[in-house]
Amino acid sequence: MSQPLPEAVLARLLKAGPAPVSGETLAKQAGVTRAAVWKAIETLRGDGYEVESVPTRGYRLASSPGALRQAEIEARLTTERFGRELRVLAEVDSTNREAARWAAEGAPEGAAVVAVRQTAGRGRLGRSWFGGGGGALMASLILRPGMPPGQTGLITYVAALSLAKTLLRWLPEEAVEIKWPNDVLVRGRKIAGILLESRIEGGVADFVIVGIGVNVAGSRDAMPEEIKGTAAILSEETKPGGGPTVVGLFTELLGEFEQTWRTFSDGGFSKLKAEWEKFFHMAGREVTVAIGDRRLKGTVEGMLQDGSLALISGGERKIIFAGDVELATTRAV
């Protein structure tokens, strides 16, 4: 058997949808006894799956906790390539690191790593990343863009746009914002961070890892003090019970990412810029940009075709390629 029995039973029940599947069928397909199937069902129930026993007809999956489980992710995937090669881990140092190790061994484009817990989650600018009080999506995707290293920064915008579009399934458009270069905000507070890491070989990016962390649910109290007031949690932003599970968000995001990535690979960022700008609400706003040790105050003019930020500062136009932006005021939504 290639899968643990509870996974195999879950996969079969997910495939059957609302139709019950008999214990005999489940046992035959897995090549085990009916007693073993019953034990696997009990394991699933213990993990929060509501499995109904339908008299004389078998078992039916009534509801799922939406926890990260290979079988459930696979059953929900709508993609061709993204997430089809998948590592689902209970714990890892960092999904970005794991994805880089896997990519170095030859994992294909679209392979994905997702974990319930990170012990050394990585953030931008060498910071660490908090993994969300039990309800965070922490995932990394492997890309093989074969492009010059100088252009890979644009992939950040592909990732932010994919996530912003995914969030619209549960939130109104005006609530979702992309903060240059790679944060996604909901009603002015950071809900997600994106971290790109790449390996360069022979003058091109051999692989790029796109790491995405999203606060899906979980407790604000468990968050570190410094982000408690500035972080958004998706379950607090939707109607009660109206938000996605971690699995739901992940599989929807993979679908959106695959499409956005195809558009980018075929036509470049110019094909996405207009759509990206719908989520960019920084134009005309006062900001302070930290660039290394320097801090530059100014008014945002816009984002240029190459992904850099144009800022009017002290009457001059400054072009910024990388930095950390602080918004002076929050936008009313």
Is residue 189 within 8 Å of 215, Cβ to Cβ? no
List of E strands, 43-121: 50-54, 58-63, 86-92, 112-118
- Determine the residue with CB nearest ligand BTN: 193
- Under the binding rule (CB under 6 A), the answer on residue 118 touching ligand BTN is yes
- Under the binding rule (CB under 6 A), the answer on residue 149 touching ligand BTN is no
In the numeric block, the tokens 């696997």 are attached to 40
**Of positions 64, 95, 162, 235, contacts ligand BTN by CB under 6 A:** 95
- Under the binding rule (CB under 6 A), the answer on residue 195 touching ligand BTN is yes
Helix axis angle, 34-46 to 5-16, nearest 10°: 80
- Under the binding rule (CB under 6 A), the answer on residue 59 touching ligand BTN is no
Piece of the chain touching ligand BTN by CB under 6 A; list 9-17, 75-83, 94-102, 153-161: 94-102
* Cβ neighbours around 197 below 10 Å, total: 18
- Under the binding rule (CB under 6 A), the answer on residue 152 touching ligand BTN is no
Separation between Cα atoms, residue 195 and residue 213, nearest integer Å: 9
* Position 173, amino acid: E
- Under the binding rule (CB under 6 A), the answer on residue 260 touching ligand BTN is no
Least Å distance, CB 189 to ligand BTN, is: 13
Least Å distance, CB 24 to ligand BTN, is: 42
Joined together, the tokens standing for residue 167 give 């969030």
**Of positions 68, 72, 140, 234, contacts ligand BTN by CB under 6 A:** 140
Number of residues that bind ligand BTN (CB under 6 A): 20
Helix or strand holding residue 23 (H, E): helix 23-30
Least Å distance, CB 101 to ligand BTN, is: 13
* Position 69, amino acid: R
Q: How many CA atoms lie within 13 A of 95 on its CB side?
A: 32
Q: What is the DSSP letter of 149?
A: G
Q: Which positions from 205 through 244 interact with ligand BTN, judged by CB under 6 A? A: 211-213
Residues that bind ligand BTN (CB under 6 A): 94-96, 118, 121-124, 127, 129, 138-140, 183, 193-195, 211-213
